[in-house]
Amino acid sequence: MKAIVMYASITGNNEEIAEFVQEELNNRGVETEIEDLFDGDEDAADDKDLIIVSPYTYDKGSIPSEMIDFFESLNDKDWTGKQYVVIGSGDRFYGKDFGAATDRFDEQMKKTGATELSGPFKIHTRIDDNDKAALRTLFDARLPKG
Ligand SMILES: Cc1cc2nc3c(=O)[nH]c(=O)nc-3n(C[C@H](O)[C@H](O)[C@H](O)COP(=O)(O)O)c2cc1C
């Protein structure tokens, strides 16, 4: 099984999520790459079995500008048989727009036919020990053993 974390990060919070997920999945025998969409390849997920998307949320619930091409490319993908989960950092200060990009990516990923490993997972600012414990539990429960 191969995985990739497609992410964008300005101040490092989503980069930290991407690195945490990469390490946890590698520890579980899932070969995992991370792709920074600031200068990355939006098609890098095409040959992976598990796709993790990690966006920050910007102005009034916008997706990251670095991820617009990737977001739009999802309209044309057939990712039936793949699995995905969206794990994004936002800030609760923004109220109803908290982590809105995480929800928008979750909806967009559904259109590809991929199966959700779990619903959208929102993190307030920097990933903390509670987030890490919840993600470890999720991976232990949902990833194939061995
Ligand atoms: C101008 C600006 C607008 C933002 N708008 C939102 C927002 O609408 N919703 C939200 O949840 N977070 C919002 N944020 C907070 C970021 O999403 C949050 O700090 C996130 O952790 C940044 O991730 P990064 O460190 O990977 O860049 C905003 C931050 C800035 C600077």
Q: What is the pLDDT of residues 62-80, one digit of tens each?
A: 999 999 999 999 999 999 9
- Is residue 19 within 6 Å of ligand 1 at its C-beta? no
pTM score of the predicted model: 0.98
Domain containing residue 21? 2-142
Residue 137: its pLDDT value, please? 97
Question: How many structural domains comprise the chain?
Answer: 1
- Quickly tell me which residue has 């959700």 as its tokens: 116
Q: How far apart are the first and last CA of the chain?
A: 10
**DSSP bridge pairs for 52:** 5, 85
Is pLDDT at 106 greater than 80 in this prediction?
yes
Among protein residues, the one with the nearest Cα to ligand 1's atom 16 is 90
Overall average pLDDT of the 111-125 stretch: 98
Contacts of residue 102, Cβ cutoff 8 Å, sequence gap at least 6: 55, 57, 86, 87, 88, 90, 120, 121, 122
Q: What is the mean pLDDT of residues 34-56?
A: 97
CA distance 101 to 58: 8
Instruction: Residue 48: give its domain's CATH number.
Output: 3.40.50.360
Q: How confident is the model at residue 145 (pLDDT cuts 50, 70, 90)?
A: confident
pLDDT at 146: 60
Sign of the C-alpha dihedral computed for residues 92, 56, 59 and 76 taken in this order:
negative
The stretch 32-56 carries a mean pLDDT of 97
